[in-house]
Structure 1
């Protein structure tokens, strides 16, 4: 017990989101549970509205009750080692301890932590790991429920009073230490969505793209749902056609909706047969319209569709932030 550390744990600010705020309750509960079974002594749980800079009686009560449920109802505080006996957890703990100790020795050999912080090398190392997380969220390899996946288009947020940065190592400038400034990982999506909300507030209509759905529901629904969800992550609404069986039906839909951007949604087979003629005719009659296609295609079909007039392909492996910014720019959203 002589060497036992006293640990004060705080739930993560980086994982908090502005949209779908109630998901923050689930995030902080998971984090609090993990901290408790990890052996901390003190625990601070942020209210689910913490990212806005404002809390209320309800959000604070939920945060307090999370402590109480973990203590009184899960009984994790009555067990000496809640994770004990789990080979999986024990192995991870051993790996973490070994890597942490190696890191401590590395820092010590470099002259100590203060020296590394003065040099800025520790901040650089943390920033690189953070940037990887930001990239993973942008490519949706890392899911942020309610933000980059499963967004709720009806969800609106008020102006936040809190600075978007999460600041660590706050120090006086004369010390010569560069503070570590990180943003919440979800901020990159929230900025885009807030731009769309502002645009809607001024113009009266949300930025909107059209979906040219081919043949029937079974054929187009998977890709139409994908594009709709991706667009919603940036506050962009979608208007979809019923299954277009012919070129004429697609042209009639475009003529009736008159949007600057459309995305083709259908099966690979539908793209091979119907898409090139539809795209060519749309570009012929409405040359100013930008057309995208949902889903990554084989090189030969991709070349055919591009030659017909497709600007690009919207698919799961692309950077969602980049395509959302591109769409907003083409829709005239500043």
Structure 2
């Protein structure tokens, strides 16, 4: 049913359509002279401009559509090393609403040190227990030994008497992704192409339809890739597979049909939606350049590992919800939501159920699947999609231009260090944003909870041994790291917890000046900051007396606190009136004195009075917390 024309809504005639200039004029009044660009214009990690307002857009050219409209697949990972428990969890996932299983064998990066240990058809049969292979979609997470695992699965299909052509299996071969993750590849690229084509031919000969090869963006995202870098890497990987398979004698159209994509759904809704839409448009462009009529690629999306936190892991539920929503709106064909406890160990049944239900609510209650490409026509999404197409293509061309040791493209970019250098630059930028809290992490760097309740996992996070060098590797590269953004703050919290276990929690005394109304803002800021490093910083009722601060009571409060650091917290007026006197009183009581806020013109006088550091918005919080924790733990009695 089409929308009614304006004439059918006479009450709308009472409202004039505002012009952009009118809106801009109203905004300027609110800004009161502040810079429009700095206040209201954002930038993505790729430098793409995000305006506060966009007009409606009419999509030009091809639409980024899926092969078939309808529900996306709800994926759950099978990764438990014990076959019986893996079978139980898989069956529970399927009975609870999942309709796709990702098989993560030991050694796969996605298994996080766990993974299936099946080495025979009998083992795999037990691992998949009562799973009806003809009723679910299966995909293999890329791992070393992918050929052996794929053939095990094929043999299991034969053992159970299924028609391979009636099954939906993505075999997930991604030797380039494994090279990037592990740092070595056993064979040369030409030999790799021959092996890959031979294995695909063998599987097709047995009746399997594929896809067989995965261009996986997760290894790049975990190493710090921006949206455009991930897109460029996935495109370059897929094109490399096209070349290898064609060189091995496979028709180009068949090679194209053998490829699927895996992309990361992160916590930024706009960039995630635009990234998935851009991936389809970019792949269409590659197909056209190859002389092929474009066909939609199957895209599996997984929520971001690097966004997960070990501290206050319940916040991961929100992260997973935003990411899954974005992947659904962006047009993913299947989605895997990482359970909220995944960073702590192997998730239990409850965490897996919540991960499934996140998608089921979006499917069954929000009905996201009922609209094909819901972002179409939105000025903001269309502009961002187009910008990511341009940026992703530029990154793809940059990787394609690389050469090393007779190789070209993405493998050459890994071999000569070009890819690693680009990712390292982005990691450094993002690490600085995390350290200064310009990129806040709720529950970790912002609003930490020192009394958080523990959560349950089936197995604790394993200590993964360092990768072993392959003695006969034909290609060696610097392996890409896997990182989570919260790790630096989590390390500080762990250090504070060790100190707490040996006695009492390290603490900072908040030396509040003036009445509660005056010091609350900065005391709250300071408490939030120190607790992000695991240091207690309780806020009391203050030390106000007759319109001023009782400095003797303040100094006595510090002595009784047992803290080593005293952080002054008050309004600018209180700092001007009492800051120097309060600092002297605290110094006489033996405190190392910090101040919450910027010192302004008083800095020299405040430092002379004994203040050693200032904590304020935009500062390097990680460095400040390291200093505070070192002072606190070193001087404990």
User: Is the aligned partner of 1:76 residue 2:376?
Assistant: no
- For the structure 1 residues 240 and 31, does the alpha-carbon distance in structure 2 shift closer, same or farther, using more than 3 Å as the test? closer
SS at 2:623 equivalent? helix
User: Is the aligned partner of 1:227 residue 2:521?
Assistant: no
1:246 maps to: 550
Contact kept in structure 2, 1:19 and 1:157, CA below 8 Å: no
SS at 2:295 equivalent? coil
Contact kept in structure 2, 1:214 and 1:243, CA below 8 Å: yes
User: Is the aligned partner of 1:301 residue 2:605?
Assistant: no
Contact kept in structure 1, 2:527 and 2:536, CA below 8 Å: yes
User: Is the aligned partner of 1:86 residue 2:386?
Assistant: no
SS at 2:633 equivalent? coil
2:627 maps to: 326
Matches for 1:207-222 after TM superposition, within 5 Å? 207-222=506-521
User: Is the aligned partner of 1:279 residue 2:583?
Assistant: yes
Structure number with greater CO (CA < 8 Å, separation at least 6) is 1
Q: Whole-Å Cα distance in 1 between the matches of residues 539 and 521 of structure 2? A: 13
Q: 1:305 deviation in Å? A: 0.5
TM-score by length of 1: 0.91
- For the structure 1 residues 171 and 134, does the alpha-carbon distance in structure 2 shift closer, same or farther, using more than 3 Å as the test? farther
1:311 maps to: 612
- For the structure 1 residues 77 and 258, does the alpha-carbon distance in structure 2 shift closer, same or farther, using more than 3 Å as the test? closer
Range with greater deviation from structure 2 (224-233 or 110-119): 110-119
Contact kept in structure 2, 1:217 and 1:243, CA below 8 Å: no
Q: 1:295 deviation in Å? A: 0.4
Matches for 1:76-155 after TM superposition, within 5 Å? 76-110=368-402, 111-155=408-452
TM-score by length of 2: 0.49
Q: Whole-Å Cα distance in 2 between the matches of residues 31 and 39 of structure 1? A: 12
Q: Whole-Å Cα distance in 2 between the matches of residues 16 and 152 of structure 1? A: 16
Give the RMSD, CA atoms, in angstroms. 2.4
Contact kept in structure 1, 2:506 and 2:563, CA below 8 Å: no
User: Is the aligned partner of 1:270 residue 2:567?
Assistant: no
Which structure has the larger Rg over C-alpha atoms? 2
Q: 1:260 deviation in Å? A: 1.3
Range with greater deviation from structure 2 (130-139 or 215-224): 130-139
Range with greater deviation from structure 2 (322-331 or 148-157): 148-157
Q: 1:157 deviation in Å? A: 4.9
Cα offsets for 1:201-241 (capped at 9, x unmatched): 111x1001111111100111111111101111111012445
Q: 1:101 deviation in Å? A: 1.4
The structure 2 residue matched to 1:44, chosen from 336, 341, 350, is: 336
Unaligned runs of 5+ in 2: 1-66, 68-293, 403-407
Q: Whole-Å Cα distance in 1 between the matches of residues 336 and 317 of structure 2? A: 13
User: Is the aligned partner of 1:12 residue 2:304?
Assistant: yes
Q: Whole-Å Cα distance in 1 between the matches of residues 463 and 446 of structure 2? A: 21
Contact kept in structure 1, 2:599 and 2:606, CA below 8 Å: no
Q: Whole-Å Cα distance in 2 between the matches of residues 81 and 73 of structure 1? A: 18
Q: Whole-Å Cα distance in 1 between the matches of residues 492 and 534 of structure 2? A: 7
Q: Whole-Å Cα distance in 1 between the matches of residues 573 and 463 of structure 2? A: 46
Q: 1:255 deviation in Å? A: 3.4
Contact kept in structure 2, 1:293 and 1:314, CA below 8 Å: yes
Cα offsets for 1:282-334 (capped at 9, x unmatched): 32x33x42011110121x30111000000111111211111111011101269
Q: Whole-Å Cα distance in 2 between the matches of residues 232 and 132 of structure 1? A: 24
Q: 1:171 deviation in Å? A: 9.2
Q: Whole-Å Cα distance in 2 between the matches of residues 183 and 305 of structure 1? A: 40
Q: Whole-Å Cα distance in 1 between the matches of residues 321 and 419 of structure 2? A: 29
- For the structure 1 residues 41 and 269, does the alpha-carbon distance in structure 2 shift closer, same or farther, using more than 3 Å as the test? same
Contact kept in structure 2, 1:213 and 1:220, CA below 8 Å: yes
Q: 1:261 deviation in Å? A: 1.1
2:63 maps to: none
Q: Whole-Å Cα distance in 2 between the matches of residues 282 and 48 of structure 1? A: 44
Range with greater deviation from structure 2 (194-203 or 235-244): 235-244
- For the structure 1 residues 164 and 155, does the alpha-carbon distance in structure 2 shift closer, same or farther, using more than 3 Å as the test? farther
1:291 maps to: 593
- For the structure 1 residues 170 and 137, does the alpha-carbon distance in structure 2 shift closer, same or farther, using more than 3 Å as the test? farther
SS at 1:331 equivalent? helix
State the 4+ residue runs in structure 1 displaced beyond 6 angstroms: none
Q: 1:258 deviation in Å? A: 4.1
Cα offsets for 1:33-88 (capped at 9, x unmatched): 21122222121111111111221111000111122122222222121211112111
Contact kept in structure 2, 1:164 and 1:187, CA below 8 Å: no
Q: 1:246 deviation in Å? A: 3.0
User: Is the aligned partner of 1:184 residue 2:476?
Assistant: no
Q: Whole-Å Cα distance in 2 between the matches of residues 47 and 225 of structure 1? A: 32
- For the structure 1 residues 256 and 71, does the alpha-carbon distance in structure 2 shift closer, same or farther, using more than 3 Å as the test? closer
Q: Whole-Å Cα distance in 2 between the matches of residues 131 and 194 of structure 1? A: 23
Matches for 1:158-197 after TM superposition, within 5 Å? 161-162=460-461, 174=473, 175-197=475-497
